[in-house]
Amino acid sequence: MFRILCCLFFWLNSLALYIVRNIERKLCSISDDSFTRGVLLYALLLLIIISIFNLSLIVFCLYNYYSMWFHSWMTWRIKFRASEASN
């Protein structure tokens, strides 16, 4: 499940950055139409916010995954040491 979420967030982030690049190209080609320019700038800002949100979700998922792994490793280590001490 964790790998699927990370792949999904990474794919969404890549898609958002691809769209951002295309919007930047269109912004450079537009000369005088201020409405179109404003809509594209708004879409650009929205996509940048979405990519930052996706990156924060990836970091959050990684943190939760590795903290669970570390907790289970420490629990196993404590149980192992306790069983060694009782022998």
| Environment class of 74 (CB within 10 Å of its CB; exposed 0-12, middle 13-18, buried 19+) | exposed
Counting residues of the chain whose pLDDT is more than 70, the rounded percentage is 89
At residue 48, the pLDDT reads 80
At residue 32, the pLDDT reads 67
Report in angstroms the alpha-carbon separations of 57 from 30, 61, 69, 74, 86: 34, 6, 18, 25, 43
26-62 tens-digit pLDDT: 777 766 667 777 777 787 788 788 878 878 877 887 7
Tokens of 36: 């179109």
| Mean pLDDT taken over the chain | 76
- 43: nearest Cα among 14, 25, 19: 19
